[in-house]
Amino acid sequence: MDQDKIKALGQRVVVDTGGVFAIALCYIGDRLGLFRAMADGKALTSEEVAQKTNLNERYVREWLKGLVAAEYIEYKQDSDRYFMTAEQAFVLANEDSFSFVGGAFQLTIPSIVQVHRVMEAFRKGGGLSYEELGSEIAEGIDRVHRPAFKYLLAKEWLPGVPGLKERLDQGISVLDVGCGLGRASVVIGSAYPRSVILGLDPNAYSIERARSLAEESGVGNVEFLCGTLEQLPKDRNYDLILAFDCIHDMADPVGTLKGIRETLTKDGIFFWVEPTGSHDPIENRNPIGKMRATLSPFLCLTVSLADGGAGLGTIIGEAGARKLAEEAGFSGFEKLPIENPMQQFFSLRR
């Protein structure tokens, strides 16, 4: 055996273990307001941070030390004070920033908490439905997508389809399949007031939150329906159908794609977004591929298998998407040249 390889693998375990606990501390910091309390950059003692957040000082002190070691916050040795740089606050505390990562913390730790239930599915099959995973994961997913939807969706992604922006400006009918908490639907409704958007999702909690978001945002051209494609009126067709990071989760992805195809108008466009990555696991040996592939059994795979579904997992790659589209009967499939490290984009024609 190669001793250097044994040593390297052991070191990888140490790094990954520390990373898991660091993310757990970040989850605590996000949910309990610790990052926000330090976002102004002032150097504070652990007692001052505890007072600002109304938390136990001894736990706060250990949290601070842990995240200094993990290089998420900074420490002044001469005064025993802790602070965040402007960059750290931008990433960890500013919910409106393009680089905000709090959603990743909220998605990761509640997902890992499900490990014993996922292990039972390993033994007996089946899985955990979206409802069983709970509302906090739904909120985490929404927060993960929020920066990209806010800053890229209407400004870069949709205009990346030739002629689509002009059609949206003029006013078309839009269906957002698997809309979740409605973030994308509301962004599109705000950006293109002449178009009419329907967000569709079978999860009642998500639809309730989506309706609240639309009301808070003051958009009048967006509505939400709790249900599936099969529940839409048969004579109701859409000029643009969207699916963001959800087809791979579905129990019957080919059946869903067939329903989408049948629901498009003759000149309609299906804008389909999937995580970056490859069907070849070796090609996913990179930070983003690692994150997506290791998440899959805790979320995307288990949700599909809970309904006895196809169980595609998080990463299907371009090849997987093309195969599904062909099985569903789409006549046109194009991978769009939209640059993004996290997502890949496809435009399909009926």
Give me the pLDDT at residue 91, please. 98
Phi, psi of 229, deg, nearest 5: -55, -35
Q: What percent of the chain has pLDDT over 90?
A: 97
Give me the pLDDT at residue 212, please. 97
| Closest to 201 measured CA to CA, from 256, 270, 262, 140 | 256
Q: Work out the average pLDDT over 220-241.
A: 92
Q: Work out the average pLDDT over 59-81.
A: 98
> Could you tell me the pLDDT band of residue 191, with boundaries at 50, 70 and 90?
very high
Assign residue 291 a region: left if phi > 0, alpha if psi is -120 to 50, beta otherwise? alpha
Measured from the Cβ of residue 349, the count of other Cβ atoms closer than 10 Å reads: 15
Dump pLDDT digits (tens) for 10-39: 999 999 999 999 999 999 999 999 999 999
For residue 178, what is the DSSP state? T
- Measure the CA angle with vertex 334, ends 344 and 262; round to 5°: 100
Q: Which domains does the chain have, with CATH numbers?
A: 3-94 (1.10.10.10), 109-349 (3.40.50.150)
Number of helical H runs and strand E runs in the chain: 16, 9
Give me the pLDDT at residue 196, please. 98
Q: Work out the average pLDDT over 183-212.
A: 97
pLDDT score of 132 more than 90: yes
Give me the pLDDT at residue 71, please. 97
Q: Which residues contact 83 (CB under 8 A, 6 or more apart)?
A: 38, 41, 42, 43, 44, 73, 74, 75, 76
| Closest to 176 measured CA to CA, from 129, 242, 112 | 242
Q: What percent of the chain has pLDDT over 70?
A: 100
Assign residue 81 a region: left if phi > 0, alpha if psi is -120 to 50, beta otherwise? beta
pLDDT score of 163 more than 90: yes
Radius of gyration of the chain (CA): 22
pLDDT score of 200 more than 90: yes
Give me the pLDDT at residue 208, please. 97
For residue 44, what is the DSSP state? B
Dump pLDDT digits (tens) for 258-283: 999 999 999 999 999 999 999 899 99
Q: Work out the average pLDDT over 187-209.
A: 97
Q: How far is Cα 344 from Cα 336, in angstroms, rounded to an integer?
A: 8
Q: How far is Cα 7 from Cα 28, in angstroms, rounded to an integer?
A: 32
pLDDT score of 146 more than 90: yes
Q: Work out the average pLDDT over 298-323.
A: 96
> Could you tell me the pLDDT band of residue 215, with boundaries at 50, 70 and 90?
very high
| 60 in Cβ contact with 18 (< 8 Å) | no
Dump pLDDT digits (tens) for 338-349: 999 999 999 999
Give me the pLDDT at residue 252, please. 96
pLDDT score of 233 more than 90: no
DSSP H helices in the chain: 3-31, 34-37, 46-53, 57-69, 86-92, 102-112, 115-124, 130-133, 135-148, 164-170, 183-191, 204-217, 253-263, 287-295, 300-306, 317-328
Q: Which residues contact 29 (CB under 8 A, 6 or more apart)?
A: 35, 63, 67, 92, 105
> Could you tell me the pLDDT band of residue 231, with boundaries at 50, 70 and 90?
confident
| Closest to 331 measured CA to CA, from 270, 276, 285, 275 | 270
Q: How far is Cα 216 from Cα 48, in angstroms, rounded to an integer?
A: 35
Q: Work out the average pLDDT over 82-89.
A: 98
> Could you tell me the pLDDT band of residue 335, with boundaries at 50, 70 and 90?
very high
Give me the pLDDT at residue 279, please. 86
pLDDT score of 234 more than 90: no
Strands 222-226 and 196-201 come out as: parallel
